[in-house]
Amino acid sequence: MLSSSNSEWFKDWFNSPYYHILYKNRSFVEADLFISNLANYFSFKKEDIILDLGCGKGRHSFSLNKYAERVIGLDLASESIKEANAIKGNALYPDFRVGDMRSFQIEFKFDYILNLFTSFGYFDSLVDNQNVIDTVAKHLEDEGVFVMDYLNSEKVRQNGPSEEMKVIDGIEFQLKKTIDANFVYKNIEFEVNSKKYNFTERVQLFEIESLQKMFEKSGFSVIENFGDYNLNPYFNDSDRMILVGKKETY
């Protein structure tokens, strides 16, 4: 059985073809709607430089590029970056790159850095989590903006554990969600050509206050907490937990 239960599970799973099959319906339309709401809210300008951190196949990056000319998408999964580049063709932007959000180095200072659709909270150590936010802060202009779109831990706890089966492209995925004090786990089991696979996604359940503290520790003031992609305010039972931090100038 091919399995991924190690602490760096995200390296194998997000780079596997089966991850892309399971989530193939992840919507470019949803991404477009969210980005157009953010564009209205922030009044993105053509000359803004924007980073989509943990961009996957780049659905938000393509959308961002309608508002700002220079958009960079960064992801650890080389297969996703390959697919994003294939969609892009010969255009200069979005400029997709392979890199680790904990330690990336990019030659630009950004006006906005966006970390969307729960592309955080995978790491074992709090130091790694803080490194991500520190590295973001280093890459922002003074008063630059960091948007983190994360799962809402309160709602995940309210919904509790679950099990379901999905058949996609002829593959039967058995999905089992469990929750403990600090993490939500999604166990994914399936079989292809008589070979059994088993992956477990593991995402940390941050309370809003602890994420806010991490932002502040890296030099951000939290200026907004949204609860969904229409940018309604955050409540305990909101669909999402979307933090907006502004880099303080000293």
Ligand X SMILES: C[S@@+](CC[C@H](N)C(=O)[O-])C[C@H]1O[C@@H](n2cnc3c(N)ncnc32)[C@H](O)[C@@H]1O
Token pair 């080389």: residue = 78
Q: Which of 83, 100, 134, 216 binds ligand X (CB under 6 A)?
A: 100
Q: Which of 63, 65, 119, 238 binds ligand X (CB under 6 A)?
A: 119
148 near ligand X (CB under 6 A): no
84 near ligand X (CB under 6 A): no
Nearer to ligand X, 179 or 191 (CB): 179
CB of 250 to ligand X, least distance (A): 28
101 near ligand X (CB under 6 A): yes
CB of 40 to ligand X, least distance (A): 20
Q: How far is CA 190 from CA 1, 158, 167, 181, 199, in A?
A: 10, 28, 10, 27, 9
Separation of CA 27 from chain center: 14
DSSP-derived letter for residue 104 is -
Nearer to ligand X, 25 or 249 (CB): 25
Nearer to ligand X, 26 or 157 (CB): 26
Nearer to ligand X, 4 or 118 (CB): 118
C-beta pairs of 94-98 under 8 Å, 24+ apart in sequence: 94/52, 94/55, 94/58, 94/61, 94/62, 94/64, 94/65, 95/70, 95/71, 96/55, 96/58, 96/61, 96/72, 97/72, 97/73, 98/74
Name the percent of the chain in helix, strand, coil, to the closest 5: 30, 35, 35
Q: Which of 4, 36, 118, 131 binds ligand X (CB under 6 A)?
A: 118
Q: CB of 236 within 8 A of CB of 156?
A: no
* Contact positions with ligand X (CB under 6 A) in 214-233: none
How many residues bind ligand X (CB under 6 A)? The answer is: 19
Q: Which residues of the chain form contacts with ligand X (CB under 6 A)?
A: 10, 14, 26, 54-56, 59, 75-77, 80, 100-102, 116-119, 122
